[in-house]
């Protein structure tokens, strides 16, 4: 049976050594395996080892349960990290349909209605823009016909507000090309 002392101890370990990522994963990394196995004994999860380090991790509902259990023992900084994920404290099985998976509220001004074939669904404009920004950044890099040298020369010219010839002279001088 887990005691208050165990919960406070686990909160202290998490406070100093833990990470919380993506709203659904907790990880503690230690050289000392005893800490990792003690956390595993108390809260379950998975243990792995790599390069002499021991990793304890929880995800999904177990992560949520662990963080809700230790929450009152955490510092304000750690609490704020958890509270950045607005849907963390809501049960995903009972999420109201007015929120996207990332926690943005579906409102008329920030929601697209996508239609394909006989299917229709809502998509948050914020998430859609982020998706397309990432996608277009990758595409523009792939389409670029500039060589590395041309790209550096263009960046120098834009940064210093000089001609490309002057930028090329600077590039050649700094890279040792005559």
Beta bridge partners of 48: 55
CA dist 174 and 22 (Å) reads 42
pLDDT tens per residue across span 35-82: 999 999 999 999 999 999 999 999 877 888 898 899 999 999 988 888
Q: Tokens representing 106?
A: 């579906």
Indicate whether 87 pLDDT > 70.
no
Nearest to 13 by CA among 36, 47, 44, 41: 36
φ, ψ at 57 (rounded to 5°):
-140, 150
CA dist 67 and 74 (Å) reads 9
pLDDT tens per residue across span 115-167: 777 777 778 888 888 877 777 766 666 666 667 777 778 878 888 888 988 88
Kindly list the distances between the CA atom of residue 128 and the CA atoms of 4, 125, 141, in Å, as whole numbers in the listed order.
Answer: 44, 5, 20
pLDDT band at 94 (very low <50, low <70, confident <90, very high): very low
pLDDT tens per residue across span 6-47: 999 999 999 999 988 766 789 999 998 999 999 999 999 999
Beta bridge partners of 27: 19, 57
CATH, domain range 4-83: 3.10.28.10
């Amino acid at each position: 049976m887990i005691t208050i002392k165990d919960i406070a101890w686990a909160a202290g370990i998490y406070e100093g050594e833990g990470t919380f990522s993506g709203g659904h994963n907790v990880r503690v990394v230690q050289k000392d395996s005893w800490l990792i196995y003690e956390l595993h004994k108390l809260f379950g999860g998975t243990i792995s080892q790599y390069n002499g380090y021991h990793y304890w991790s929880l995800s999904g509902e177990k992560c949520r349960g662990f963080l809700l259990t230790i929450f009152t023992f955490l510092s304000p900084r750690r609490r704020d990290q958890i509270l950045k994920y607005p849907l963390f404290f809501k049960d995903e099985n009972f999420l109201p349909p007015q929120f996207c998976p990332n926690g943005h509220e579906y409102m008329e001004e920030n929601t697209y209605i996508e239609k394909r074939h006989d299917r229709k669904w809502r998509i948050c404009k914020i998430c859609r823009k982020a998706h397309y920004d990432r996608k277009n950044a990758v595409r523009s890099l792939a389409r670029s016909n500039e060589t590395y040298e041309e790209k550096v020369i263009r960046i120098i010219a834009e940064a210093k507000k000089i001609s490309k010839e002057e930028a090329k002279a600077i590039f050649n001088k700094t890279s040792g090309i005559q």
